[in-house]
Amino acid sequence: MFKIEAVSNHQLEQIKHKIDAKTKPLGSLGKLETLAQQLALILECDRPELTKPTQLVFAGDHGVAELGVSIASSEVTGQMVANFCAGGAAINVFCRQANMNFKVIDCGTKYEQPDHPALIKQRLGDCTEPFNVNPAMSDQDAMLGLRFGQQIAQDQITQGCNIIGIGEMGIANTTSAAAIMMALTGLDLEYCVGRGTGVDDHSFARKKEVISTAMLLHNEQLTSPLQVLATLGGFEIAQMTGAMLGIAQAKKVILVDGFISTVAALLAVKMYPNARDYMIF
């Protein structure tokens, strides 16, 4: 489905020399030098320029939200999508300050919003299934989500964008992301699960119970990254993963920030290891 090449290091020495030749002590800019080097390698030039930077926020609702794992109901997902469109969220302020384009993608929410210039509708449904009972979505929907994500990324790249931030909104999606992390890494439940938006002890215990039940129920089906995505994921996580793979295929820069985005990045890398070369965390 994707063809992703590893970032070439053939210009590495040239790029290092250009950085070291600046009027400064060697290595004095620390992580900034590492970042500059990574950008130059991804964009295949020794003087990288970021063009039409764009932030994509993928929204989706989760069946497990009805199980007491979050402090909020799925209604808040729709409210936040409306707020994104109105320009009133923190990410909107960030994008205005950084001169970034902004789009929010409805990947499948219970409360569909009216059309808006900032809103792209790529709905896979209203909500995933509660994955402690059934797979969150079909394999076909997971594949379609990857394609949808790839297409939205390609649309931005066609317009001249070469760096894309991947964000999300979805009540209970930390439950989904924690389950995916556990399935892909084999790490213990306690290491993978956090309190998300700050749930109380009862909801935190319920969150861990839901994930434990799902892992026991679906253990034999969790044999590939795609199966993990379909069984435990969200509509927005599917499209985020597809977007990252599409950006990597186009040899552009992926900005990864936050737990859910990092889990989508993990899915992408498990599917196509070379995608890691294009990610900045």
For the segment 205-215, what is each residue's pLDDT rounded down to a tens digit?
999 999 999 99
**pLDDT tens, residue by residue, 47-56:** 999 999 999 9
Asked if 273 and 222 sit in the same domain, the reply is: yes
Residue 91: half-sphere exposure toward Cβ, Cα within 13 Å: 23
**pLDDT tens, residue by residue, 171-214:** 999 999 999 999 999 999 999 999 988 899 999 999 999 999 99
Tokens at residue 83, please? 């707020």
Instruction: Choose one of 12, 31, 49: the last residue of a domain.
Output: 49
Q: Which of 188, 180, 196 is nearest to 233 (CA)?
A: 180
Asked if 108 and 10 sit in the same domain, the reply is: no
Asked if 158 and 213 sit in the same domain, the reply is: yes
Question: What is the count of structural domains for the chain?
Answer: 2
Asked if 33 and 125 sit in the same domain, the reply is: no
Asked if 28 and 152 sit in the same domain, the reply is: no
> With left for phi above 0 and alpha for psi between -120 and 50, is residue 49 left, alpha or beta?
beta
**pLDDT tens, residue by residue, 73-123:** 999 999 999 999 999 999 999 999 999 999 999 999 999 999 999 999 999
**pLDDT tens, residue by residue, 227-264:** 999 999 999 999 999 999 999 999 999 999 999 999 99
Please give the Cα distance from 42 to 7 (Å, whole number): 6
Domain with 200 in it: 54-280
Instruction: Choose one of 31, 49, 67: the last residue of a domain.
Output: 49
Listed in sequence order, the residues at least 6 apart from 31 whose beta carbon sits closer than 8 Å to its beta carbon are none
Task: Return phi, psi of residue 96, to 5°.
Answer: -65, -40
Per-residue pLDDT at 196: 85
**pLDDT tens, residue by residue, 9-48:** 999 999 999 999 999 999 999 999 999 999 999 999 999 9
Asked if 186 and 167 sit in the same domain, the reply is: yes
Asked if 13 and 78 sit in the same domain, the reply is: no
Using H for helix, E for strand and C for coil, what is the string for 204-249?
A: HHHHHHHHHHHHHHHHHHCCCHHHHHHHHCCHHHHHHHHHHHHHHH
Asked if 92 and 122 sit in the same domain, the reply is: yes
